[in-house]
Amino acid sequence: MPSYVIGVDGGTESLRAGVFDAAGTPLSFASAPYPTAFPAPGWAEQRPADWWTALGVAVKEAAASAGVPPADIAALCVDTTCCTVVALDEAGQALRPALLWMDMRSAAQAARVAAAGDEALAVNGGGGGPVSAEWMIPKALWLAEKEPEVFEEAATICEYQDYLNFNLTGRMVASVNNASIRWHYSTQRPGGWPTGLLKAIGLEGLQAKWPQEVLPLGAVVGGLTPAAAAHLGLPEGLPVAQGGADADIGMIGLGVIKPGQLALLTGSSHLHLGVTDKIFHGRGIWGVYPDALLPGVHMVEGGQTSTGSAVAWLRKLVGEPGYEALNAEAAAVPPGCEGLLCLDHFQGNRTPHTDALSRGAIAGLTLRHGRGHLFRALIEAICFGTEHIFETMRGQGYSPASVTVAGGATRSDLWLQTHADVSNVPFVLTKVSDAPALGCAILAAVAAGLHPDVPAACAAMVHQDRVVQPDPQRHAEYASHYAAYKQLYPALQPGFHAAAARCAPPPKAPPPPPAAEALARRAQLHSIVSPSILSADFANLQSDVQRVVDAGAEWVHVDVFDGVFVPNLTIGPPVVKSLHNRVPGAFLDCHLCVVHPEAYVEEMAASGAAQFTFHIEAPGIDFNCTTAAALAAKARKLGMRAGIALQKDTPASTVLPLVAAGAVDTVLLLSVRAGFGGQKFDLAVLPKLRALRERFAGDIIVDGGITLANAREVAEAGANALVAGTTVFAGPQPAEVAVPGLVDLIAAGREAWPAPASGEQPAPTNGAQQAEQRELSLA
């Protein structure tokens, strides 16, 4: 009876096949590379035909060097990168090169998906985002919008995984693993598919293009077709088992299938893949993906972007000494590195902050610190980053009890021991480091009937090598250093975001001439004054607000300052609530200058805020806009208009994905440093305002230093809404003169805007009439 299996790991650069026996012993491995095309920044494409060629080469070579005759092979299983999307015609031929997981062209589509506010998005940080451009729906949406002829013609839109299985067996099916982790499929939803999400983004047509059958891991997809058998040099009809995403199949190869176990897959980055029997969602984690591994075996995901890559960077910087020397020097340094502390966010933070603009840092340098201190501080930072992910998971109800680890970094005892000590959990190493290939072999062994099920196959085929136990004393010693590490990000985040804004590349192409439709929409905007109550008499707020409303102020600007995001403390939801009750009908235009706007969105809505404007620079809001889009969608869902605000020095380009996605109703440009009224208007905001107006037909608010002398010029540059505090509440003219005066100046300034082609009526300027119209359009 055939007793060997082939596991194939379809990676990013090559495909690696291994022949294993039923006890999990590898007999041979063989790899075959395939090219990836990077025709432009952010693009990454591969030709499905190259995968197929590589599969034939690697399998034939592995089988030959194992010395196992084809008749002794019992089954085959393949994993692949995920989400790598292919579009196929009726015959299963690729219509275009595949969009590799790392292809980022669908970033704007990802922001739109995040803005949909559908329940299926719970797996993205509990609905708070981000949605990654790596995932299926943004990629398919990109295809539908940018290459509609390909999308239309495609009979099937699926994964690299499904393409290979189809070519092996002639059967087109999806894997529950890929679909759950990257397609927003859920076994908990009737039918599984994210129909509501597809409808919300106008991509209903995608569902029928997906493979309609979803198979669990290890299920038999089919037998090798004659053509596939010839291509691989294996017997016709050989069972092919369902695989999934390479990293997740690696969990199986590490034997991580029981609740409380967690797989740490290391390389240039860290991937934390936990197993849980509970279904929960929350900020700072991805998942839980129900049944994504096995029935009842759910997955939770975290990730650190720069780990091995940061270590390699430091080694290069200090003259490329051997890792042995660096480890020895670092081991001689005490925990905490005598005050030296690193932040590991060299390429941003994936979880728990999900901030693409966060950066690495070294803090506390003195002249006595040497190379060993630096190396140890970086290793500690990586361990602290992992612990922060674990702490976030614990906060959501999942506690990793043991970590099974794979990857090159496991060769460092210091690295392993520090991880175990910081997190106070045992770190387990297994004998076969090529976990994805072994995971495939396990699934193939189940499909072949060599083992009754995946748990039994894992028990027979995964062998523990050693366990690194945590040292409780060391763990206690690390506590204060870990606490200090956690303070680094919030302290440095504003600086990181400011640096990103400073260094943002200028927009590449000149703006397209405004379309007729955009011109018509702009003409319909209202000319709005939003008096800032920051300059009102706080002891007489009700009468001050009533007074400006009576004077024709369509909005009332409420600055919510938390004393952290800006150096001033003002008012919060209770005052908003009182104003809403005491001045019925006042449109409360709430501007949140706070570090965590997401923490206030529900309360602000419940208090009566009409517009919820938050800052793109706020921690937790990412500059690729997915978390911003999700928060804006939530604000809208709660009945408020959504706005995004930019500090004076933040370029408009940072919010263009949001604007392009239609995710916000307003953009607020600060023309002073946020925090206090009575400052001087900074003319530097005008070019930014002009550039934004060319791309955005919605309300643009300019806030800070607005007077009767400059309002017209600001409106000419593109603003249709002005916030004015001092001028309305403490200026030489009373509010009854200042408010209508400012409205007239805005209307006059807007006459400089390009006019729509024909037939457009100007918007009414009477405040009450406009409020009535808005009520109607909200209803």
Ligand X SMILES: O=C(CO)[C@H](O)[C@H](O)COP(=O)(O)O
* Residues marked as catalytic: 559, 703
Q: Which is nearer to ligand X, 249 or 590 (CB)?
A: 590
Q: Closest CB to ligand X among 184 and 591?
A: 591
Choose the binding region for ligand X from 153-161, 433-441, 667-675, 765-773 (rule: CB under 6 A).
Answer: 667-675
Rounded Cα–Cα distance for residues 341 and 359 (Å)? 14
Cβ atoms of 206 and 200 within 8 Å: the answer is no
Q: Is 421 in the site for ligand X (CB under 6 A)?
A: no
Q: Report helix, strand or coil for 699.
A: strand
Question: 3-class SS at 413?
Answer: helix
655 phi, psi to nearest 5 deg: -110, 5
Of the candidates 724, 739, 743, 771, which one interacts with ligand X according to CB under 6 A? 724
Q: How many CB atoms lie within 10 A of CB 2?
A: 18
Task: Decide whether 385 or 573 has the Cβ nearer to ligand X.
Answer: 573
What's the closest the beta carbon of residue 455 comes to ligand X, in angstroms? Answer: 59
Shorter beta-carbon distance to ligand X: residue 245 or 534 = 534
- Tell me how many residues contact ligand X (CB under 6 A): 22
Residue 725 in the binding site for ligand X (CB under 6 A): yes
Residues 506 to 545 in contact with ligand X, rule: CB under 6 A: 532, 534-535
For residue 500 the two structure tokens come to 């990103």
Among 704, 718, 749, 756, binds ligand X (CB under 6 A): 704
- Interatomic CA distance for residues 84 and 145, integer angstroms: 18
Q: Of the listed pieces 365-373, 654-662, 701-709, 756-764, which binds ligand X according to CB under 6 A?
A: 701-709
C-alpha dist (Å) from residue 634 to 48, 197, 401: 39, 14, 35
Amino acid at 179: A
Query: Pairing mode, if any, of strands 174-175 and 14-21?
Result: unpaired
Q: Which stretch binds ligand X (CB under 6 A): 26-34, 143-151, 677-685, 709-717?
A: 677-685
Residue 213 in tokens: 């059958």
User: What's the min distance (Å) between Cβ of 585 and ligand X?
Assistant: 21
Among 231, 270, 557, 636, binds ligand X (CB under 6 A): 557
Which CB sits closer to ligand X, 466 or 680?
Answer: 680
Interior/surface letters 651-670, b for 16+ CB within 10 angstroms, e for the rest: bbbbbbbbbebebbbbbbbb
Among 674, 697, 719, 742, binds ligand X (CB under 6 A): 674
* 470 in contact with ligand X (CB under 6 A): no
Interaction of residue 404 with ligand X, rule CB under 6 A: no
Q: CB neighbours of 663 closer than 8 A, spacing ≥ 6? A: 111, 112, 115, 625, 628, 629, 632, 633, 642
Does residue 677 bind ligand X (CB under 6 A)? yes
CB burial of residue 154 (10 Å; 0-12, 13-18, 19+): buried
Residue of 468, 703, 715, 749 that binds ligand X (CB under 6 A)? 703
CB of residue 332 vs ligand X: minimum separation in angstroms?
Answer: 51
Binding piece for ligand X, criterion CB under 6 A, among 70-78, 387-395, 548-556, 722-730? 722-730
Q: How far is the CB of 618 from ligand X (least distance, A)?
A: 14
679 binds ligand X (CB under 6 A): yes
Q: Which one of 98, 706, 714, 715 is in contact with ligand X (CB under 6 A)?
A: 706
Q: Minimal distance in Å, beta carbon 645 to ligand X? A: 9
Our CB check for ligand X shows the closer of 223 and 573 to be: 573
Binding pattern for the stretch 585-604 against ligand X, x by CB under 6 A and - elsewhere? ------x-------------
Buried b vs exposed e over 389-414: b needs ≥16 C-beta within 10 Å? Answer: bbbbbeebebbbebbbbbbebbebeb
- Rg of the chain in Å (alpha carbons): 29
Rounded distance, CA 774 to CA 779, Å?
9
Give the C-alpha separation, 767 to 748, whole Å. 17
**Minimum separation from the CB atom of position 580 to ligand X (A):** 19
Please identify which residue in 35, 678, 687, 764 interacts with ligand X, judged by CB under 6 A: 678
Query: What is the smallest separation between the CB atom of 703 and ligand X, expressed in angstroms?
Result: 5
Beta bridge partners of 382: none
Report if residue 675 touches ligand X, rule: CB under 6 A.
Answer: yes
Strand (E) or helix (H) holding 169: helix 160-169
Structure tokens at 410: 């496991």
Ramachandran area for residue 291 (φ above 0: left; ψ -120 to 50: alpha; else beta): left
> Whose Cβ is closer to ligand X: residue 470's or residue 675's?
675
> In angstroms, what is the minimal distance from the CB of 763 to ligand X?
24
Given candidates 290, 705, 718, 741, which one binds ligand X under the rule CB under 6 A?
705
CA distance 260 to 277: 9
Write the CA distances from 686 to 66, 297, 651, 670, 680, integer angstroms. 70, 55, 12, 11, 14
Residues that bind ligand X (CB under 6 A): 532, 534-535, 557, 559, 591, 672, 674-679, 703-706, 723-727
